[in-house]
Chain A
């Protein structure tokens, strides 16, 4: 038998040995396969999204004109805030907040109308008692959201009142039109003196109308820093521009008309032309006013609304989103624990002494063990993937999670293999610093804890201070979570990607391989050193 083939037999000894050892522990197999699935399954049926329903208490001080009807506030706040009561006593409300009977206390502004009319913003105090940073941020955000909503409704109410006022403006414009018709009649009858007097009256009464229309035109055509109206030929835009100009033009045209009427020899044709110009001014101002009245007050208060569209290929549930991460996390943990325990156990059992005397080399031992764990965990991962992805329903009870796998199976396969390889390498490294099985387990648990916090499984990596991110990049699970989420949920290639020949080669997987190789090399050198003679 060739020496080359003997190497395979020697390495193979460890593959069958590891398999047989695990096979002898049915509870372990059950825990390895069913455990992760059950965790995800329970998470899937148990998780109900963010618990954002906050119990709120509204404080309306005595004498204020606000409503004290809880149902009215509930209708106003929708699902996010659950208004439980309306109180008149702020101190009592704050005491209930301290006892955590309610989540938020909202005190309506005292004498808001007076504050606003005097040019100041009315204060809307919101109190909460929260140590959870996520909930704290959520309540702060919600406070701004509701304040904006109140502001919008307030502006809409004001706009509505303005629209009602615009009716008076149109009446004033109609009176001006009647006066202009009277001027025209006088001119046609040659009564220039009377026409001039009527024109002067029009000049006097048009000032307020002009000012109102100019303001209205500016309001409707205002340019904000964020939104600039396009320089288009849209008829409505032209109306706005014309209306504003007409208001400025009216006094000039009335003055020209009056000057012609008071000239020594007023020209009749010129007078009629100038009367026509004034009429055109009044028509344009009326059109602008009519346009203002036709606009919905809510549009005036909130001209923009978001049109939200998620361009992701699918909209996974919480369970589906977290499933790839859980799979990688569990694979990493099992690989680390199995490898570390296996290596430590060899040392404690004394089998290393047997290996030293036999022709087996440290490299053959590690190759065999790694191959064994790769096959074992690969099998577990395959079973878990099938259980996760299929929609198996028995008698109406869903027994799987329906997690989508949109991407390339080959990439998925390589990602899982690399996660197992890198994790087993980390386990090997842990075994070299562990003196006992309990030490190996403890260190493995620490790695699991670090993985939950630093891998991007729950918190995005961007949220971590960059030096701390070094911990993230030292964990195989970080690359695994990112790769599997991209492959399974986006159907893509883990980025950043580079091209090697015609084959897209995902750099994330290359990084994972490099990390695994580094761990394996250090672990191998340490193991070889301990393998040598004392």
Chain B
């Protein structure tokens, strides 16, 4: 991998990431630009235990990449590998074109990092903590004061600015951390469970801000335990026991979990012949009766499938009461993916055992 820093053109040259910049145009995740983050066959062993293995993914500039997994699955380790806190045991990591384990100061000025735990100073006030972080990024007094005020207002902590960090709630501490990570307008933000412990209203506001940053062309790598937050991401990586189970868009993940889109149909006069007729439609993968009048039809894509289903039902003289795409929530998607992974692993282990016995 090249060691030349890849800094977004909008942030190159004389532009200082610590200056308040105008919104920059979003870069499509499908552009041909080199990925902001590239992870190739990365494993990390800590204390003799393999914490993550065979990580292989990339994150394009200007996208929100969500990293979802249960507690202890390796999300924080991955973020530490990307930020350069850890060096990979095997494999290669490239962030903005350089290996984060050998970062240049110029590249690090574009990093924003929100750790999982509160790591600022309990004896400093909220404002002093933010000023301290701003100074770490070399922000001058004027820009610092203005930016601190802006972010305090954004995270709704302006009134609490003079309270000691030790005297505020856990949720408020998360908001301080988020504000600290955004002080210098990073072009690449690593946020480790940013919404943990945050009320739903503020959580929505956080995601709104993330999307705004994304729309400015910034890249965000966000880990979360809230599966529902996958919907806010452009792409999502699902990690389990240190291995990536799936990487896709939220819709792609849903299709992967359930083998495609789901269409729920309620009809009067549902017969076996009707079900068989539907199963014969090439676009239909399977038909699952739910009740006497209701069936669930699995299709490749719901859009083109619904007219085809209606046509078959009409031919069968079945009276359609309701037909709509069923969108399973991401909890279901997540559980499905976990179960599939578990089944695949069990099968793999069984095969491995059988091969061993044959040998």
Contacts and interface: CB of A to CB of B under 8 A. Distances in A.
Given A6-B138, A9-B140, A10-B136, A357 B113 contact: yes
Contacts of B224: none
Contact of B85 (A3, A6, A357): A357
Contacts of A354: 113, 115, 119-120, 133, 136
Contacts of B136: 10, 13, 354-355, 358-360
Nearest to A368: B135
A21 interface: yes
Contacts of B210: none
Interface in B27-86: 46, 80, 83-86
Interface in A1-29: 1, 3, 5-7, 9-10, 12-13, 16-17, 20-21, 24-25
B87 interface: yes
A313 interface: no
Interface in B79-116: 80, 83-87, 101, 105-106, 108-109, 111, 113, 115
Contacts of B164: 24
Interface stretch (A237-245, A289-297, A345-353): A345-353
A13 B87 contact: no
B132 interface: yes
Contacts of A351: 119-121
Interface size class of B (residues with CB under 8 A): 35 or more
A98 interface: no
Contacts of B80: 353
Most buried by B among A16, A354, A534: A354
Contact of B84 (A1, A12, A17, A533): A533
A483 B106 CA distance: 46
A17 B121 contact: yes
A353 B135 contact: no
Given A10-B138, A354-B113, A534-B85, A24 B133 contact: no
Most buried by A among B86, B109, B119, B136: B136
B124 A17 contact: yes
A356 interface: yes
A10 B101 contact: no
B140 A1 contact: yes
Nearest to B122: A349
Contacts of A350: 115, 117, 119
A432 interface: no
A5 B18 CA distance: 13
A358 B138 CA distance: 10
A353 B114 CA distance: 10
A249 interface: no
Contacts of B234: none
Nearest to B105: A359
B85 A353 contact: yes
A361 interface: yes
Contacts of A356: 83-85
Nearest to B88: A533
A362 B139 CA distance: 18
A527 to B, nearest CB: 16
B112 to A, nearest CB: 9
A477 to B, nearest CB: 29
A20 B124 contact: yes
A21 B121 contact: yes
B314 interface: no
A195 B133 CA distance: 126
B105 to A, nearest CB: 4
B334 interface: no
Nearest to A365: B136
B196 to A, nearest CB: 16
Given A350-B117, A356-B85, A361-B105, A21 B137 contact: no
A12 B136 CA distance: 9
Nearest to B135: A13
A347 to B, nearest CB: 11
Contacts of A16: 128, 131-132, 135
9 contacts: A10-B137, A16-B131, A20-B124, A25-B123, A358-B111, A359-B105, A359-B106, A359-B109, A533-B85
Given A10-B137, A21-B123, A358-B113, 8 more contacts: A1-B16, A6-B138, A13-B135, A354-B115, A354-B120, A357-B85, A358-B111, A533-B86
Q: Can you list the 5 inter-chain pairs with the closest CB atoms, starting with the nearest?
A: A6-B138, A13-B135, A350-B119, A357-B113, A359-B108
